[in-house]
């Protein structure tokens, strides 16, 4: 998991955050015609967020960096997507493009992630374990999740400065 402000998906941590990250929010709006009248417009709720972006891998190992990201894409399935200053989301890796080739140690890339409302089959992505030294404040900082959200997800933890016993599961999402 990501602990240093870098974007990550599953076990891949981007060496340098993408230069461009776009998060698209959309609501599903339905318009139903009514016979002999106008129509009714309904808000059907929020659709999945779409996260797109682009960046570059640098250095003599830029090809290996891209191949590591491609392996995560190839394995498929969902995972936790961490974006600096955003709440983590469970997402599917929908698109990966290489832009250019290894010219002077730079490879460009583009990606698309789609939020999934399914629960993670691997709950370890949404949990961490206490270790008798961490508090919710520490976990909030480490996983970039607001302490208020952690309090809401873990109502049995009375205070954010309470030390979490070893082995206790703390929900992150």
CATH code of residue 12: 2.40.30.200
Q: Indicate if 98 and 110 belong to the same structural domain.
A: yes
Quick check: 89 and 49 in contact, CB under 8 A?
Answer: yes
**Per-residue pLDDT at 168 exceeds 90:** no
Q: Phi first, then psi: give them for residue 24, nearest 5 degrees.
A: -100, 125
- Exposed / middle / buried, residue 61 (Cβ in 10 Å: 0-12, 13-18, 19+): middle
pTM of the model: 0.65
CATH code of residue 149: 3.10.350.10
Task: Name, of 11-15, 24-28, 127-131, the range with top average pLDDT.
Answer: 11-15
Provide the edge-to-edge strand list for the sheet that holds 89-99.
12-13, 8-9, 78-82, 89-99, 106-115, 50-58, 20-24
Q: Indicate if 2 and 77 belong to the same structural domain.
A: yes
Q: Indicate if 108 and 136 belong to the same structural domain.
A: no
């Amino acid at each position: 998991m990501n602990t240093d402000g870098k974007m990550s998906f599953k076990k891949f941590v981007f060496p340098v955050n993408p230069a461009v990250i776009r998060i698209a929010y959309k609501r599903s709006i339905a318009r139903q015609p009514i016979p002999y009248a106008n129509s009714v417009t309904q808000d059907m709720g929020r659709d999945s967020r779409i996260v797109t972006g682009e960046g570059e891998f640098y250095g003599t190992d830029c090809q290996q960096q891209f191949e590591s990201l491609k392996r995560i894409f190839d394995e498929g399935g969902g995972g936790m997507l961490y974006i600096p200053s955003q709440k983590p989301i469970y997402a599917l890796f929908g698109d990966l493009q290489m832009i250019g080739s290894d010219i002077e140690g730079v490879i460009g890339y583009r990606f698309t992630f789609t939020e999934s409302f399914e629960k993670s089959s691997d709950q370890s992505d949404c949990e961490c374990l206490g270790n008798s030294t961490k508090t919710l404040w520490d976990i909030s900082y480490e996983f970039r999740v607001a302490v208020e959200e952690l309090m809401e997800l873990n109502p049995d933890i009375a205070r954010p400065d309470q030390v979490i016993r070893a082995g206790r599961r703390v929900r992150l999402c």
